[in-house]
A = this chain, B = another copy of it.
Amino acid sequence: MSTDTSASAQLPANLPIGVFDSGVGGLTVLRALRRALPAENFLYLGDTARLPYGTKSGATVARYALQTTRVLVDIGVKMLVVACNTASSVAMPGLAEAYPGLPCTGVIEPGAAAACLSAPRGRIAVIATGGTVRGAAYQAAILRRLPEATIATRPAQLFVSLAEEGWIDGQVVTDIARRYLDPLMAEFPEGGPDCLVLGCTHFPVLAQAIQGVLPSGVCLIDSAETTANWVAEELGARGLLRPDHRQGGDGTGAVTGAVTGSVTGLVTGSVRFFATDDPDRFARVGEIFLGEPLSPSDVTLVDL
């Protein structure tokens, strides 16, 4: 999260919150944000032309993050949420430098904070994409809070493909989950870790299958939920929440909405979706992660 707040006081509370990811996985974060902040408006940009970020170098991903953020900032946002673990692990310093007045959070710091709170014995397992694991950002964020933590991490790239294919349960998913998680659990003798961090925004849709192969008592940390709470607190502390956000909104948001009123009865905030490639696929696969219908006509194509 950016610590430079110099310009944020001038950001109108009615601006939308900008959210970006390499693709559709960040829609799990958007879903949690909309639950936590039902009256807020959102812009969501999926950089689908260049996904996945998880297999690319840090320098490349950091450059992509600056480009996607530029699109959102040019439209106008009051806060930026990097809803992508890989980008969160490498791009935050560059974003804070480029946009010093913009409140900004990734998903790793909130996820690490939640993991530490859920690890009474300090035993934390993390699954993520290869890029996130290699970047070691979760390890660093956890150890800053809990220096005595025992951490084991493992890349689980196939979970991304399973989630995008919509294969979220059944024997194949269980077998793959075992193949990734059994060796990871074995790194924690005596009952496994305290918690397992789902360190990729694709993974929450597989949560049930993943939980099913874990030793009992290991809790799952879904950074989507914790990030949403973090954003709500940050906006509240800065006086940037929409004035009507507790009353369910006034319906006068300047952002025209592709999806409105469908997460809870109280939602009046809207979302505008952008993708850098193929709105059809974005809508088709995105529904799995957003948990509600999406039409290609809801998605605006942008070129980066």
| A residues neighboring B (CB under 8 Å) | 48-52, 55-57, 60, 130, 157-158, 160-162, 164-165, 167, 171-172, 175-176, 179, 277-278, 281
Contacts and interface: CB of A to CB of B under 8 A. Distances in A.
A157 B176 CA distance: 16
A278 B172 contact: no
Given A56-B278, A60-B277, A158-B167, 13 more contacts: A48-B55, A48-B56, A52-B52, A55-B278, A57-B277, A60-B278, A157-B164, A167-B179, A171-B175, A172-B172, A172-B175, A172-B179, A175-B175
9 smallest A-B Cβ distances: which pairs? A161-B161, A57-B278, A172-B175, A56-B277, A158-B161, A60-B277, A57-B277, A172-B176, A49-B60
A205 to B, nearest CB: 15
A212 to B, nearest CB: 16
Given A49-B60, A278-B55, A161 B171 contact: no
A55 B175 contact: no
Number of copies: 2
Contacts of A56: 48-49, 277-278
24 contacts: A48-B55, A48-B56, A49-B56, A49-B60, A50-B50, A51-B55, A52-B52, A56-B278, A57-B278, A60-B278, A130-B281, A157-B161, A157-B165, A158-B158, A158-B161, A158-B162, A158-B167, A160-B161, A161-B161, A171-B175, A172-B172, A172-B175, A172-B176, A172-B179
A203 to B, nearest CB: 14
A179 B164 CA distance: 16
Contacts of A157: 161, 164-165
Contacts of A278: 55-57, 60
A58 to B, nearest CB: 9
Contacts of A49: 50, 56, 60
A175 to B, nearest CB: 5
Contacts of A179: 167, 172
Contacts of A51: 55
Given A55-B48, A277-B56, A165 B158 contact: yes
A281 B55 contact: yes
Contacts of A160: 161
Contacts of A60: 49, 277-278
